[in-house]
Amino acid sequence: MPFITLEGIDGCGKSTQARLIAAALAHAGHDVLSLREPGGVAISEKIRALLLDPENDAMCDACELLLYEAARAQLVHEVIRPALNAGRVVVCDRFFDSTTAYQGFAGTSSREAAETANALAVSDCVPALTLVFDIDPELAAERADTRAGAPDRMEAKGLDYQRRVAEGFRAIAREQPGRVRLIDASQTVDAVFACALAELASAGLAVSADDARSALAALMAPTE
Ligand code: TMP
């Protein structure tokens, strides 16, 4: 069960949970590789910069869809597949469900186009477990407002867009209950983490209370 992906709308807190999960699994003795999408390798990080640059407001939806898939194809080829073949645990902050939810449900690309493009980019490299951090888009927007910096090109699409993305993720979770689990992300960081660990355990990747505590302590530790 080595490929885990984390999903949710902007501001849902999933990146914090990605750090906690990776730290807990590493503390439990797993060889963990943490990645983010779009990005994770040099070519895909360059594509990320193109996708998120607010100056690229002329980007059409087909270009956007194909750039996400191009970044993903390279990440799968260069890093994810070799890591899984080597027996590592891969924790990826976003993967192809983001394309289905953002470009397929919220954007103007059809869901069918998003899923066809997903299949082309990943082939048989499908996550064993996907955690969707579900939160009210208004609450997520408030959280995002407290973070520094201007909105990127995707965040600038606005609240209605995020509402459609959230509905998209909920639909994916309803349709694929075996792989995709919805977690209430409006709770505290610790409570959300506990839910995530329960899902990992039910999928065969249990960590001890000590592993969990150590991950939380590392998150709270001051960084230089
Ligand atoms: P991040 O802020 O979680 O790093 O993700 C970057 C943005 O890209 C975020 O707004 C979600 C969006 N995105 C898509 O629209 N489609 C995708 O396939 C992926 C991976 C991300």
Query: Which sequence spans correspond to the domains of the chain?
Result: 3-220
Q: How far is CA 9 from CA 22, 167, 177, in A?
A: 20, 10, 19
Query: Best mutation site among 12, 44, 102, 153 for ligand 1, i.e. most ligand atoms within 8 A of its Cβ?
Result: 102
pTM of the model: 0.96
Cis bond leading into 38, ω under 30°? yes
Tell me, what's the pLDDT at 1? 58
How many angstroms separate the alpha carbon of residue 210 from the centre of ligand 1?
A: 32
- State phi, psi for 70 to the nearest 5 degrees: -65, -45
> What would the pLDDT profile of 49-99 be if each residue is shown by its tens digit?
999 999 999 999 999 999 999 999 999 999 999 999 999 999 999 999 999
- State phi, psi for 96 to the nearest 5 degrees: -70, -20
**Count of all residues that appear for the chain in the document:** 224
Name the pairing type of β-strands 129-134 and 3-7. Answer: parallel
Q: Any residues with CB less than 8 A from the CB of 128 and at least 6 apart, and which?
A: 1, 2, 3, 4, 179, 203
Tell me, what's the pLDDT at 211? 95
Q: Is 36 within 8 Å of 95 (Cβ atoms)?
A: no
Q: Is 29 within 8 Å of 87 (Cβ atoms)?
A: no
Q: Is 130 within 8 Å of 179 (Cβ atoms)?
A: yes
> What would the pLDDT profile of 12-31 be if each residue is shown by its tens digit?
999 999 999 999 999 999 99
How many angstroms separate the alpha carbon of residue 18 from the centre of ligand 1?
A: 15
Spell out which residues line ligand 1, taking CB within 6 angstroms.
10, 36-38, 68, 94, 98-99, 102-103, 154-155
CATH of 3-220, one of 3.20.20.120, 3.40.50.300, 2.130.10.10, 3.40.50.2000: 3.40.50.300
